[in-house]
Amino acid sequence: MIQRAGDAVTGSGGVAAVAKENLLLRARDLRDDLGRWRRHLHAHPELSGQETETAAYIAAELGAMGLAPRLPQPNAVVAEIGADPDGPTIALRADIDALPIAEETGLPFSSRRPGVMHACGHDGHAAVLLGVARILTARADRLRGRARLIFQPAEEVPPGGARELISAGVLGGVSAVIGLHLWCPLPTGKAIVVSGPAWAAADRFRAVIHGRGGHGAKPQEAVDALEAACRCVVALQSIVSRAINPLDAAVVTVGTLHAGEAFNIVADAAVLEGTVRAFDEDVRRLIKGRIAEVLAHTAAAAGARAELDYVDGYPVLRNDAKVAEVMRQAAGRYLGEKAVGDGPREMAADDFARYAECVPGCYMSLGATAAGRPGYPNHHPHFTLDEDALPVGAAILAETALHLMQRRA
């Protein structure tokens, strides 16, 4: 089945050779190592931008496999496998940073750093990519191309770690990029591979509403920044409901609003912050423009003035149709075709999007919630990933990379 479909995608006779070996069996042999890597990283989480111990650990493990990892920066690791100069180079990316969350799982290998936790599964992503390294190094002399493993820092905090690595040339000569996110509460054994826009663009904004303070008893002599800010929050909600095509998905969320010092004083200023999500760059631009207009005019209507700071975050993560098809086939081989969905898309964002802007790519969501477990979502203090998902992820990534290497331009 996989051979037929693979041939159709790649147009290469070499696919059959790739598919002979069951990489999931191979990955399951690595279960102890996968668990060991993941648990070490879980116990020693590091925040975005500070992943130097994490990078050193990963580099040491890769070195022990006979690879020659390099650190383009102290908290990032890149390693290359295979030497075929004529074959394509396939990049595989794992993010390695943790979150400022106090862990409450009670696991024996819980975070040893108070207030820092691998609550988004990036410990698992790094372990999966180390597993891929094992699988591919065992057949390095037979590879029909090269695999470039990218262990990337700072995914959680825009502008994200991908941008700097790309600027440093990490995608040089790369013909496709792949990666995965372990996802809860998606059950272990399920995967989602979306063709086209898969994860949303995410921006943030901060607005200061300037009024004029005064006595609470004499509003006519003041400009109430708090009241103006409230109008702004309500007016911003009209953007998605009135300005966006109902068939386009979009979010405008105001997450914070701070104003005022005392109950009987008219607030001089108010600060609100929010996030924007969209799957289409035109929709994203439209929202950005409307936010500026709505804030300016709504504040003006209240006699106040709005000062907007809008920060472009991660772009839309767009999966390439052909790469997605190869990945879907690989996932289907090990999970069964029916276990691989083509949705739903994610309103969350990931800076894998930056790689996929440069070269054809695909980012898969892989279920990592054990049957019967509560399945706390990513970023929750009780978040726990099912380690049975680790060999599955390694097998699918390795298989996808091998198939992509069969493709000749």
Binding site for Ni ion (CB under 5 A): 120
**Distance between CA 393 and CA 124 in Å, rounded?**
9
Cβ proximity to Ni ion, 227 vs 346, nearer residue:
346
Q: How far is the CB of 121 from Ni ion (least distance, A)?
A: 6
Cβ proximity to Ni ion, 209 vs 349, nearer residue:
349
Q: How far is the CB of 289 from Ni ion (least distance, A)?
A: 29
Q: How far is the CB of 113 from Ni ion (least distance, A)?
A: 18
Cβ proximity to Ni ion, 14 vs 49, nearer residue:
49
Cβ proximity to Ni ion, 306 vs 392, nearer residue:
392
Q: How far is the CB of 188 from Ni ion (least distance, A)?
A: 17
Cβ proximity to Ni ion, 120 vs 198, nearer residue:
120
Q: How far is the CB of 312 from Ni ion (least distance, A)?
A: 20
Cβ proximity to Ni ion, 152 vs 329, nearer residue:
152
Q: How far is the CB of 146 from Ni ion (least distance, A)?
A: 26
Cβ proximity to Ni ion, 155 vs 227, nearer residue:
155
Q: How far is the CB of 187 from Ni ion (least distance, A)?
A: 18
User: What interhelical angle do 122-137 and 389-405 show, nearest 10?
Assistant: 50
Q: How far is the CB of 314 from Ni ion (least distance, A)?
A: 12
Please work out, in degrees rounded to the nearest 5, the angle formed at the alpha carbon of residue 369 by the alpha carbons of 57 and 399: 60
Cβ proximity to Ni ion, 117 vs 283, nearer residue:
117
Q: How far is the CB of 226 from Ni ion (least distance, A)?
A: 36
Secondary structure of the chain in the HEC alphabet? CHHHHHHHHHCCCCHHHHHHCCHHHHHHHCHHHHHHHHHHHHHCCCECCCCHHHHHHHHHHHHHCCCCCEEEECCEEEEEECCCCCCCEEEEEEECCEECCCCCCCCCCCCCCCCCECCCCHHHHHHHHHHHHHHHHCCHHHCCCEEEEEEECCCCCCCCCHHHHHHCCCCCCEEEEEEEEEEEEEECCCEECCCEEEECEEEEEEEEEECECEECCCHHHCECHHHHHHHHHHHHHHHHHHHCCCCCCEEEEEEEEEECCCCCEECCEEEEEEEEEECCHHHHHHHHHHHHHHHHHHHHHCCCEEEEEEEEEECCEEECHHHHHHHHHHHHHHHCHHHEECCCCECCCCCHHHHHHHCCEEEEEEEEECCCCCCCCCCCCCCCCCCCHHHHHHHHHHHHHHHHHCCCC
Cβ proximity to Ni ion, 6 vs 153, nearer residue:
153
**Distance between CA 327 and CA 194 in Å, rounded?**
10
Q: Is-contact 149 97, C-beta < 8 A?
A: no
Q: How far is the CB of 386 from Ni ion (least distance, A)?
A: 16
Q: Is-contact 154 55, C-beta < 8 A?
A: no
Cβ proximity to Ni ion, 120 vs 324, nearer residue:
120
Q: Is-contact 121 181, C-beta < 8 A?
A: yes
